[in-house]
């Protein structure tokens, strides 16, 4: 895999094909919308979701951690999809293997009691302000801070010759807002409608590719 380097406000970031964002100066890995527990939730209600999908989110997390070796993980909301299920035990086992600082910026799906997270060493906050950046779950306009967020599950529809069309997850930069793709393997995509000046970075299995030039409206 190959990451995509990007300067924002004189800070160096790297976009990873997993959907994670690495902040070089802070040695922090930002991840949005993992939605742990969603596979188990849907299987419980009769959906034919492959059992192997349970492990894929943790495998993706491990891959991004090994690639960047961050000192902290910042989850931009919706770490879990709903209430506790067997995947909570998987998460606790995974977390206890890592001594890195972890912070959950609470999202609309994060309904598990805060004390549960704190008991395994995960801090829970509503938002974070760091060095001129605002980290939140929902995209948040600010006149003075640059916002990193999730929630939208941004995707982009690309058209090629011969009427081919591909929909893929993307990182989306508009003004002073930067929206991360959903990290979870069992999540949908909301197709964005880029305007002139927006920057779009399509996520592929092996690299992140800027596709902003495909959009002129």
CATH of the domain at 131: 3.60.21
Length of the chain: 217
- φ, ψ of residue 60 to 5 degrees: the values are -65, -45
Looking at the structure of the chain, the number of domains it has is 1
Which residues are CB-contacts of 40 (< 8 A; sequence separation ≥ 6)? 54, 85, 86, 87
Provide the domain limits for residue 191: 4-214
Cα dihedral sign for 19, 25, 27, 30? negative
Q: What percent of the chain has pLDDT over 70?
A: 85
pLDDT of 174 > 90? The answer is yes
Rounded to an integer, the average pLDDT of 51-71 is 88
pLDDT-derived band at 53, boundaries 50, 70, 90: low
What whole-number distance in Å separates Cα of residue 191 and Cα of residue 189?
Answer: 6
pTM passes above 0.85: yes
Radius of gyration of the chain (CA): 17
């Amino acid at each position: 895999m190959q990451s995509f380097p990007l300067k924002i406000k004189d800070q160096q970031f790297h976009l990873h094909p997993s959907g994670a964002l690495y902040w070089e100066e802070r040695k922090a890995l930002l991840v949005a919308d993992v939605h742990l527990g969603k596979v188990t939730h849907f299987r419980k209600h009769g959906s034919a979701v492959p059992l192997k999908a349970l492990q894929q989110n943790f495998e993706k997390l491990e891959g991004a951690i090994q690639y960047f070796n961050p000192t902290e993980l910042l989850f931009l909301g919706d770490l879990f999809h709903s209430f506790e299920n067997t995947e909570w035990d998987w998460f606790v086992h995974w977390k206890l293997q890592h001594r890195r600082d972890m912070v959950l910026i609470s999202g609309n799906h994060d309904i598990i009691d805060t004390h549960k997270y704190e008991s395994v060493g995960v801090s829970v906050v509503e938002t974070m302000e760091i060095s001129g950046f605002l980290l939140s779950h929902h995209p948040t306009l600010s006149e003075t801070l640059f916002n990193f967020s999730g929630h939208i599950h941004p995707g982009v529809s690309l058209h090629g010759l011969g009427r081919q069309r591909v929909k893929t997850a993307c990182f989306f930069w508009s003004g002073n807002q930067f929206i991360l793709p959903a990290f979870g393997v069992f999540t949908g995509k909301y197709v964005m409608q880029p305007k002139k000046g927006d920057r779009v970075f399509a996520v592929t299995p092996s690299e992140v590719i800027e596709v902003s030039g495909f959009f002129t409206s």
